[in-house]
Amino acid sequence: MIEVKDLYFVYPTGVEALKGITLTIDDGEFLAIMGQNGAGKTTLVKHFNGLLKSTKGEVVVDGVSTREVSVAQLARKVGFVFQNPDHQLFCETVEEEVAFALRNFGFEENAIKKRVDWALNLLDVTQYRQTSPFMLSGGERKRVALASVLAWDPQVVILDEPTIGQDHQQKEKLRQFIVQLNAQKKTVIIVTHDVEFVAECNPRVVLMTEGKIVAEGLAEEILTNQKLVAQASIVPPQITQIFLGLPDLGLPTNVIDVHEARRILLDILEGAPHEHV
């Protein structure tokens, strides 16, 4: 469990990135931290594995304050997949890349071999085992980076802007993968501004703007609230926009999913009383 208690953070340059964040993330949750670029989302999650230490306030991971432990110790529990895989990849083969963190954490050789096999298989990159990561395509490098983090089986997985540059199918695969991770009782935290992606996942959403949390709740409540959305400079999902464009027809206003939308429209047109979702 991650507890953030009135967190303030100021960068050495003087920029006040976080202004009093209070948040609790339970084990096994699926959380999306949203907001425009510069809202402080990445700054916030960097506190969860100790990369950043609070200026004021506290961050407690599984009962231990992040100030009292090293990044390496926290990283054991909290895996962080950075936005750009090229900031991590440096080994001669994919296999070594995936084993890197395992070696840092002091796993023994047998365990390393088993976990590397498992992670490569999970991300469907076993065929690239002996390939140099630099020879792979962008999408493949992302998968290798993800495999290298999952290899040590952290309880929490943070994904920073995982959908950037991804095409529709890649995003769909990612969505399914996250659902799978979550089903395995892992806490998954994604930092994103991709509203359509979040609409398809429907996680708990924390909306940030200018270093503060402006709203917390289910995706379908937050992303459909016009005032909040405008305040945080994000764009509501297209389906929501369609429904918001028909206020006089008495349609429910918290629809974010296209299939849900169809169901509601069918209900109305067939004359059946629709349930207010």
Q: Can you give the binding site for another protein, defined by CB under 8 A?
A: 36-38, 46, 49, 51, 70-72, 75-76, 79-80, 82, 84, 86-90, 100-101, 104-105, 134, 137-139, 148-149, 152, 164-172, 193-196, 233-235, 237-239, 241-243, 245-246, 249, 258-259, 261-262, 265-266, 268-269
Distance CA 167, CA 164 (A): 9
Sheet holding 2-10, edge to edge: 16-25, 2-10, 56-61, 64-65
Chain centroid to CA 139: 17
- Nearer CB in complex with another protein: 75/188: 75
Distance CA 200, CA 258 (A): 9
- Least distance CB 157 / another protein (angstroms): 11
- Least distance CB 218 / another protein (angstroms): 19
Query: Based on the number of CB atoms within 10 Å of its own CB, is 65 exposed (0-12), middle (13-18) or buried (19 or more)?
Result: middle
- Least distance CB 71 / another protein (angstroms): 5
Amino acid at site 261 = A
- Nearer CB in complex with another protein: 10/51: 51
- Least distance CB 39 / another protein (angstroms): 9
Q: Are 53 and 47 in contact (CB under 8 A)?
A: yes
- Least distance CB 24 / another protein (angstroms): 22
Please say whether the dihedral angle defined by the alpha carbons of residues 226, 229, 234 and 237, taken in this order, is positive or negative: negative
- Least distance CB 26 / another protein (angstroms): 22
Query: DSSP class of residue 134?
Result: G
Length in residues, the chain: 277
Q: Are 33 and 190 in contact (CB under 8 A)?
A: yes
- Nearer CB in complex with another protein: 22/55: 55
- Nearer CB in complex with another protein: 6/90: 90
Rounded to 10 degrees, the C-alpha dihedral 144/148/151/156 comes to -110
